[in-house]
Every structure is written in C-alpha cells, then in structure tokens.
Amino acid sequence: MILRRIADALRRQDWITVLIEFVLVIAGVLIALQVNNWNETRAAQARLDRYVDELQLDLAAEREEMMRVQQIAIERHAALSYILGEAIDWAMPDVIERFGEDLQIDPIPEFEVELGQAIFNEVLTLETFDGQRHTFDALTNTGEFQLFNRRPIARDLRAHYADISSFQDFESNYLLPRYLGLYEQLHEHGIARFDEVDPDALIGVVLEDPVLASRLREFAILTDVQYRRLIPLIEETEALEARLAVLQ
C-alpha cells in the first residue's frame, strides 16, 4: 500500500508526499528494529536470570558438600591422630617442608573421637568432592556464557571452577591413592574394611608395621591438606553466591 502511494506520488511529482511516505517507511523500520532489540534484550535477560538461579543452586549445593567433606576430614584426622599418637607418639608437625619452602600448619579444628569401632571406621571414612558444575558446563558448551562475558563475574566464575578442578585433581592424584594404599597394607594383616577392629588391636598392628605407620602419617597430612584447601573454596563460593544475587 505504501509503495503504491509512493509510486502514484512520483508519477504526479508530488515530492512532499514522497518525502512523507519515505519518512513513514523509515520510521516504521526503525520502530520495528527497536521493538525487536527490546524483545531480544528481554529474552536475553530472562535467560540470564534463569542461569543465575541455576548457578546459585549449584553453588549452594557445592558449599554444603564442601562443608560435609570438611567435617568428615576433621573426624578422620582426629581418629588418625589418636591411633598414631598412641602407637608411635606421633603428632601433626607445625611446619612441613615442601619444594624447599616451609609451610606453616595451623591446628585443625578439634574433634572428640569415640573409642571402639568408631575409630577404625573414621580412619577409613573418606569423602571426596564431586561438585555441582552442570549449569557452568552447559553455559560454556552451548555458548550461552556470553550472557556473562561483559560482567566481571565471568572471569571469577571461570577461575572458581578452575580452582575446583585443581582441588579434585589433588584428591584423585594424591589423596585417593594413599587411601587405597591403606587398604592394601591392612589386608596384609588380615584386616578388611568392615571388620570389627578394636582400637588397641589396631594400635598394636601400627606399632609392629612401620610401613602402615608411614602410610597413616601421610594420609593424616593429606587429610589436613584436604581440609585446608576447602577453606578458600568455600569462601569463593559464598562470595559468588552473593554477587550472583545482585545480577537478578
């Protein structure tokens, strides 16, 4: 219809009408583009809000899991310290030399161990951190992470999940192999994971077997490392939860 009116105006050389019609066409196009941009912006914001909600749920679940892993590490460390202290008078050192550097070891939170079967159970109770990175992986794999790209939190989210991967590598490459090594050494003495083992009997075995004692000492130190490495991760998680809440 507009094109027909413009054609008729051109034939009549009615330049004012032609100009008005052109202005109306351009204005209509600009309005349509603006409406489209508004719709795209609203859709992008809706997607961003959904991902923010899902990231917050993932981070909250991560934080709860980290705290649970920490508590189990505290209980395991207490049991290991008791067995090693009674068997060979060993206590966690204040300083550990690693790669030419002295690492100061602060006391781990105390936990009162229960005598009896509980001590053996706690020595061999290990929980590792699985994590909840489903939303982050979905964002990066689908390209939707661009919704965060112009925000400072994008860099911090990537750094956080890189820290998570580094921690999980520590658990897989250092903590778990030592844990499995303990089973092997206990099997040498005819002790299985779900046997009823009196603490005094276990202390006697440790006293007689220097290899088992050394594996328990190393496992105790790595248990301490697991606990301590989770501290900054929990702080990161809490900070990211608070910053994501502002984006909504």
CA dist 182 → 100, 191, 192 (Å): 28, 11, 11
**Torsion angle defined by CA atoms of residues 79, 85, 90 and 96, in that order, rounded to the nearest 10 degrees:** 30
- pTM of the full predicted structure? 0.80
Local confidence pLDDT in tens for the 248 residues of the chain: 555 654 554 455 555 554 555 555 565 555 655 545 555 556 566 787 888 899 999 999 999 999 999 999 999 999 999 999 999 999 888 777 765 566 677 778 888 887 778 889 999 999 999 988 899 898 888 888 888 877 788 899 999 999 999 999 999 999 999 999 999 999 999 998 888 888 899 999 999 999 999 999 999 999 999 999 999 999 999 999 999 888 76
| Chain CA centroid to CA 96, Å | 27
pLDDT at 9: 47
pLDDT at 16: 59
**Domain map of the chain by residue range?**
2-247
Coil, strand or helix: which one is 36? helix
